[in-house]
Amino acid sequence: MTERKRRLLGALLIIVAAAIVVVQLGVSPEYDRIAEAQKNKAGGKSGDIMVQLPGQFMVASFTGFEQVVAGALWIRADDFFHHGQYEAIIPIVRMVTWLDPHNIDVYITGAWHLDYNFVDEANSLSDKRYIPAAIALMHEGIKNNPDIWDLYFELGWTHYSRKLNDNFTALKWISEACKHDGIDPNTGQKVRRCDFVDRMKAHMLEKCGYFDEAIAQWHRTRARTAKAIQESKSKPGGDVYADQNALDLCDRNLALLELRMGWRYADMARYEDGLKVAERLKGPPDWVAATKSARKDFESRKGKKWIGDAMRPLNTAFEVSWLRAAPQVLIITGKINLIQQSEYKGLASESFTHWYANNNASGSPKELWRNGCRVFWRLQDYDYVMPSLKTFDWKIDRSRTVAWGDIYVGEGKFTAKIDMSDRRDREMYPFTADKYKLTIWVTPEDPGMPDFVQDRVGWKGEALTDPKYLDTKTRPGWKMLRKEFILKRSDII
């Protein structure tokens, strides 16, 4: 080796070493916190996590092997996941997305991990303070991969719809997903967008109360699927796959949407359109039988004035209370008239479902209630507002308290114990504020009310009445039930 080459190599090593030092100085404070947390979880054993990553990873990232390093790091993250070392995963997600910003699986998995895997000990409730970081990570992924559907869809479905129950924002992002195809990770070639993306847009339009738009979306989705079937026939062995089952799925969902518009709102035109679509389906046998029964019901209502199932008022008689059972342990209890089996008698939807008839076939009801509703609760600092992060940062404000969940309703009653007293959860429930807000609510949207309850109360809760807690202001045009309590710190601690 010549003297000149030795000098160049020495200079390169100095640069690499300096870079490693700079990076290490940046990650050391966070590393120390993670290591200490893992030490506590391990009962005093070594919590040294990041040191387990070979030093060659960092060197290789400076010498042109970014994707190789990213892959190796991601394998290491999987090992941490299976050992329950969740906090160690997020710095790795950060490094992998820097090294390989087009690996969409890392964005999807990392954001899901932030949303769901940091949970408390007593309730298995996830730490909601990480949600803004999860959303920011998804936005970063979209910025780096704007021309494929995957991340738009995941942001809408996994984070806004499933985690935040915000179907309107979910609809925005799923609609954006429907503007893009995918990319084959092995070849880099464009591939057809999965059919379920377009179907989910139709479902979201329905959930948001945009029924005409939902119907139009089902027609577009069906036409797209039919076109794919023809292409697969003309080009066998290609990457386009669709079959009759996909068409039937579109027809079944479209039929149910239009039938329910007929049953719930006495819309005879939609009722008939739904029957025509339902009659295209040749199976299964119970579907065919139910469709024939609904056809008879439709014919019997022609020319008659009738009120839709969801337009008959239903007094929910909602009652809710809370008590402090122990320091940082709250119990929420209540009653709600959702939904007695007698409410199904004579519904137009019964012509298709026959639930009430089957429930009373023996002369007395097998079930007195149709269970399945959920009551939602949220406890937070009085002035808490979920932050909107412009850039991804997994460091959260640990002085804030915010938690929420849902309670199953059975036989018209509900109760839940919220235990925030475990010493291992002190960072999740710091309770540093002087005042808190406890909100209890019931919404007609699924999963608050499943479709068989909506058959009686409507998509937007049109049937709901209540002398105390009816809320028509939170979302104009919708009805919900809502009660808010203001708590002092001494009420909780």
- Determine the Cα–Cα distance for residues 93 and 169; give it in Å rounded to an integer: 25
- According to the model, what pLDDT value does residue 481 have? 98
**Measured on CA atoms in the order 379, 385, 389, 394, is the torsion positive or negative?**
negative
The torsion angle over the Cα atoms of residues 343, 348, 352 and 355, rounded to 10 degrees, is 10
- According to the model, what pLDDT value does residue 133 have? 96
**Range name among 36-45, 91-100, 101-110, 168-177 with the lowest pLDDT average:** 36-45
- According to the model, what pLDDT value does residue 237 have? 63
**pLDDT score of 16 more than 60:** no
Residue bearing tokens 């079944």: 252
Rounded average pLDDT over 119-125: 90
Reference 257, options 239, 241, 278; nearest CA is 278
Q: 394: pLDDT confidence band, cut at 50, 70 and 90? A: confident
**φ, ψ at 324 (rounded to 5°):** -95, 110
- According to the model, what pLDDT value does residue 188 have? 84
- According to the model, what pLDDT value does residue 39 have? 45
Q: How many CB atoms lie within 10 A of CB 300?
A: 11
**pLDDT score of 222 more than 60:** yes
Task: For the chain, give the mean pLDDT.
Answer: 87
- According to the model, what pLDDT value does residue 410 have? 97
- Show the domains of the chain with their CATH numbers: 56-193 (1.25.40.10), 319-491 (no CATH)
Q: Considering only residues 429 and 447, tell me which one the structure prediction assigns the higher pLDDT.
A: 429
**pLDDT score of 239 more than 90:** no
- According to the model, what pLDDT value does residue 25 have? 53
Residue type, 437: K
**Range name among 39-53, 151-165, 326-340 with the lowest pLDDT average:** 39-53
Reference 123, options 485, 421, 490; nearest CA is 421
**pLDDT score of 353 more than 70:** yes
- According to the model, what pLDDT value does residue 89 have? 76
The torsion angle over the Cα atoms of residues 395, 398, 400 and 401, rounded to 10 degrees, is 110
- According to the model, what pLDDT value does residue 172 have? 98
- According to the model, what pLDDT value does residue 26 have? 53
- According to the model, what pLDDT value does residue 51 have? 40
DSSP 434-466: SEEEEEEEE-SSTTTS-HHHHHHH-TT-TTEE-
Rounded average pLDDT over 191-219: 97
**pLDDT score of 50 more than 50:** no
The two three-digit tokens of residue 29, written as one number = 């404070």
The two three-digit tokens of residue 46, written as one number = 């070594």
CA distances from 467 to 156, 217, 375, 402 (A): 36, 38, 18, 30
**pLDDT score of 453 more than 50:** yes
Rounded average pLDDT over 185-201: 92
**pLDDT score of 69 more than 90:** no
Q: Considering only residues 274 and 66, tell me which one the structure prediction assigns the higher pLDDT.
A: 274
| 3-state class (DSSP) for residue 261 | helix
- According to the model, what pLDDT value does residue 99 have? 83
- Determine the Cα–Cα distance for residues 2 and 10; give it in Å rounded to an integer: 12
In the chain, the percentage of residues whose pLDDT exceeds 90 is: 72
In the chain, the percentage of residues whose pLDDT exceeds 70 is: 81
Q: 104: pLDDT confidence band, cut at 50, 70 and 90? A: very high
The two three-digit tokens of residue 129, written as one number = 């303070």
**pLDDT score of 64 more than 50:** no
- Determine the Cα–Cα distance for residues 93 and 109; give it in Å rounded to an integer: 9
